[in-house]
């Protein structure tokens, strides 16, 4: 979430989630692993959005946030709402902001519910009508009924691929995270983390992505396939 979005949310009376605002330098330094895209694209594109924002590539950041939002990233939907509300490198648009915040807060006990409720209570009748019209167009792409189902399918497909790599001594190199320092080591995937370690890290990230969504079902521990050792080192 951008530091600008957090600060602006305070000036407009919209409560921000309880967290400290990172600096632009911290945002720009975000480590976004491209290999995560095949498991949790919402998390990956949200990272690219924050990174781009920190680098002051605001148009690119908004595109990445929108892509993340289509993969059920609630933080991305929240940031898009605050940016629309405050005219953050775009024309201010209260109905669009209200629509994004409504989507961001659709899960039970959402951290973004207070922000959505505060803005919703301040809408004029014409703004509320415009918000409802926007939501009718946006939900089929960004609402959990579509986006979260689509995101979980991608997650399950990625985890299934990992399951086929499982075996005694199996290792997995995720692009963007585990690149051997010495190119001559590219043919020795044992330098990569164990598959089970990577699986645990991906699953922990998935818990945050799908938090509060009643449709989420975890894949569970990986099972060994054919009892054969396996390694994977994407090029």
Running along the chain, 235 residues long, what does each successive block of 10 average in pLDDT?
Answer: 40 53 77 90 95 94 97 97 94 97 96 96 97 98 97 93 70 67 49 80 89 69 39 38
CA distance 70 to 75: 12
CA distance 97 to 81: 4
> Would you state the pLDDT for residue 10?
41
> Would you state the pLDDT for residue 16?
57
CA distance 161 to 166: 9
Q: pTM for the whole thing?
A: 0.79
> Would you state the pLDDT for residue 197?
82
Contact 115, 105 (CB under 8 A): yes
Query: For 29-53, b where at least 16 C-beta lie within 10 A, e where not — what string?
Result: ebebeebbbbbbbbbbbbbbbbbbb
> Would you state the pLDDT for residue 88?
92
Beta strands (DSSP E) in the chain are: 171-172, 231-232
> Would you state the pLDDT for residue 193?
78
> Would you state the pLDDT for residue 4?
40
How far out from the chain centre does Cα 8 lie? 22
CA distance 91 to 103: 20
> Would you state the pLDDT for residue 15?
57
Nearest Cα neighbor of 103 from 90, 126, 84, 122 is 84
> Would you state the pLDDT for residue 26?
81
Residues 6+ apart with CB under 8 A from 220: none
> Would you state the pLDDT for residue 13?
54
């Amino acid at each position: 979430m951008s530091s600008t979005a957090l600060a602006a949310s305070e000036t407009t009376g919209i409560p921000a989630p309880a967290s400290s605002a990172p600096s632009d330098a911290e945002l720009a330094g975000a480590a976004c692993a491209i290999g995560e895209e095949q498991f949790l694209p919402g998390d990956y594109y949200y990272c690219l959005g924050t990174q781009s924002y920190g680098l002051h590539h605001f148009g690119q950041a908004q595109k990445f946030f929108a892509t993340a939002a289509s993969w059920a990233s609630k933080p991305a939907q929240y940031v898009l709402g605050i940016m629309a509300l405050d005219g953050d490198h775009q024309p201010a648009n209260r109905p669009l902001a209200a629509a994004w915040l409504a989507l961001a807060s659709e899960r039970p006990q959402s951290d973004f519910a207070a922000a959505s409720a505060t803005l919703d209570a301040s809408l004029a009748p014409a703004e509320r009508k415009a918000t409802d019209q926007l939501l009718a167009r946006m939900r089929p792409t960004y609402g959990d009924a579509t986006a979260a189902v689509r995101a979980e399918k991608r997650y399950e497909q990625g985890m299934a691929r990992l399951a086929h790599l499982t075996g005694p001594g199996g290792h997995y190199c995720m692009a963007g995270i585990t690149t051997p320092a010495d190119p001559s080591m590219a043919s020795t995937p044992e330098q990569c983390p164990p598959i089970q370690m990577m699986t645990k890290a991906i699953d922990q990230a998935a818990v945050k992505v799908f938090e509060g969504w009643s449709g989420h079902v975890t894949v569970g521990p990986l099972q060994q396939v054919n009892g054969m050792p396996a390694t994977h080192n994407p090029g």
